[in-house]
């Protein structure tokens, strides 16, 4: 090609390179995690045999279960993803392409079905090591084999704060009948489950709807018609869900006194009222 002659080569798509780089980066992270853990596993299993393999198995089992509960999205109809929505917006910004109001809206972004499923699996594989818990893995394995661990007694804990009335003497039989049988579940299964469910609520109710509020506001401002009551309704829903979850967690505190029933009922009622107001405006 002579100097000054125009080139007919297609322009490079920066977005494709960024997506490829992200995929390669995730692959390298997975490879580094798996390879380092594999070396540790091989060396320790060769030296300690079953005494090392068993805890690793239970840690992996716990990590997969807890990460799946915390991170997997189940609404395949909407197929939302905060990460890939931000990546798409970032690519458009880097390429200096105009960002339409529709693409700016978080709720308008959808992954393809195959990418959505692959992304859920990838999240679990990447973050399962953060949720590794040997004791939970042992308990979950034991429970999945058909053992009870006191799980059948868990509904009793919902009535426990309301059993004792103010001024009545403490009855030791209440603890013997309602608390002691479910101590294995309360100490081994329930705390990790409450944590990951709380993380799920934070991610997919709190952060997801916060992204929805911000993106909707920016899009509506560009169109010259912000909907403030709509944003407030979503915020009320977030707070309402948070209050209801807080009220539910009060049943599992280590200290239940005479004020606990009033705190549970009050928090629950405020959460329900906020949700009712929110849905009334949104529907």
How do residues 24-80 score in pLDDT, each as one tens digit? 887 788 788 777 777 776 776 666 666 667 888 899 999 999 999 999 998 888 888
279 or 239: which carries more pLDDT confidence?
Answer: 239
Indicate whether 7 pLDDT > 50: no
In a domain, 7, yes or no: no
Listed range (76-80, 223-227, 272-276) with the worst mean pLDDT: 223-227
Q: Which residues contact 155 (CB under 8 A, 6 or more apart)?
A: none
Listed range (36-40, 184-188, 270-274) with the worst mean pLDDT: 36-40
In a domain, 158, yes or no: yes
- 165-185 pLDDT, tens digit per residue, is 444 555 667 667 777 888 888
With cut-offs at 50, 70 and 90, classify the pLDDT of residue 201.
very high
With cut-offs at 50, 70 and 90, classify the pLDDT of residue 203.
very high
In a domain, 171, yes or no: yes
In a domain, 134, yes or no: yes
The region that residue 96 occupies, defined by phi over 0 for left and psi between -120 and 50 for alpha, beta otherwise, is: left
Helices 134-144 & 50-71, crossing angle to 10 degrees?
Answer: 80
With cut-offs at 50, 70 and 90, classify the pLDDT of residue 209.
very high
What confidence score (pLDDT) does residue 9 get?
A: 40
Tokens of 152: 């059948």
CA neighbor of 240 nearest in space, from 205, 216, 208, 191: 205
Token look-up 């101590």 returns: 183
Q: How far is CA 10 from CA 1, 143, 156, 220, in A?
A: 15, 59, 68, 36
Specify the number of domains making up the chain: 1
With cut-offs at 50, 70 and 90, classify the pLDDT of residue 195.
very high
38 or 272: which carries more pLDDT confidence?
Answer: 272
In a domain, 277, yes or no: no
What confidence score (pLDDT) does residue 191 get?
A: 92
What is the number of residues in the chain?
283
Q: How far is CA 185 from CA 18, 138, 182, 193, in A?
A: 46, 12, 5, 11
In a domain, 251, yes or no: no
- 117-143 pLDDT, tens digit per residue, is 999 999 998 899 899 898 999 999 999
Instruction: Decide: residue 249, CB within 10 A, 0-12 exposed, 13-18 middle, 19+ buried.
Output: middle
First CA to last CA across the chain, in angstroms?
A: 63
Task: Give the residue numbers spanning the domain of 141.
Answer: 14-226
Q: Which residues contact 88 (CB under 8 A, 6 or more apart)?
A: 103, 109
Indicate whether 248 pLDDT > 70: yes
In a domain, 93, yes or no: yes
In a domain, 92, yes or no: yes
What confidence score (pLDDT) does residue 38 get?
A: 74
Three-state secondary structure string covering the chain: CCCCCCCCCCCCCHHHHHHHHHHHHHHHHHHHHHHHHHHHHHHHHHHHCHHHHHHHHHHHHHHHHHHHHHHCCCCCCCCCCHHHHHHHHHHHHHCCCCCCHHHHCHHHCCCCHHHHHHHHHHHHHHHHHHHCCHHHHHHHHHHHCCCCCCHHHHHHHHCHHHHCCCCCCCCHHHHHHHCHHHHHHHHHHHHHHHHHHHHHHHHHHHHHHHHHHHHHHHHHHHHCCCCHHHHHHHHHHHHHHHHHHHHHHHHHCCCCCCCHHHHHHHHHHHHHHHHHHHHHHHC
7 or 283: which carries more pLDDT confidence?
Answer: 283
Mean pLDDT of 8-22: 61
Q: How far is CA 6 from CA 11, 14, 55, 102, in A?
A: 12, 21, 65, 36
């Amino acid at each position: 090609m002579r100097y000054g002659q125009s080139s007919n080569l297609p322009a490079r798509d920066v977005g494709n390179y960024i997506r490829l780089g992200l995929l390669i980066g995730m692959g390298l992270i997975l490879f580094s995690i798996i390879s380092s853990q594999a070396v540790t596993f091989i060396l320790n299993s060769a030296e300690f045999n079953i005494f090392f393999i068993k805890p690793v198995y239970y840690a992996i089992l716990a990590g997969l279960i807890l990460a799946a509960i915390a991170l997997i999205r189940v609404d395949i109809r909407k197929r939302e993803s905060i990460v890939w929505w931000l990546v798409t917006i970032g690519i458009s910004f880097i390429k200096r392409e105009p960002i339409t109001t529709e693409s700016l809206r978080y709720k308008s972004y959808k992954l393809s079905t195959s990418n959505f499923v692959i992304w859920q699996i990838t999240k679990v594989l990447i973050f399962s090591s953060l949720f590794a818990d040997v004791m939970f893995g042992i308990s979950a394995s034991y429970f999945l084999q058909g053992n009870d661990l006191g799980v059948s007694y868990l509904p009793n804990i919902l009535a426990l704060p309301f059993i004792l009335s103010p001024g009545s003497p403490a009855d030791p039989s209440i603890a013997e009948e309602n608390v002691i049988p479910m101590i294995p579940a309360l100490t081994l299964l329930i705390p990790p489950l409450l944590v990951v469910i709380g993380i799920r609520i934070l991610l997919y109710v709190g952060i997801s709807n916060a992204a929805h509020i911000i993106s909707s506001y920016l899009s509506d401002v560009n169109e010259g018609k912000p909907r403030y009551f709509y944003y407030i309704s979503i915020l009320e829903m977030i707070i309402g869900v948070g209050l209801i979850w807080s009220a539910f967690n009060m049943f599992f505190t280590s200290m239940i006194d005479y004020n606990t029933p009033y705190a549970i009922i009050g928090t629950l009622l405020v959460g329900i009222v906020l949700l009712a107001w929110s849905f009334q405006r949104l529907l």
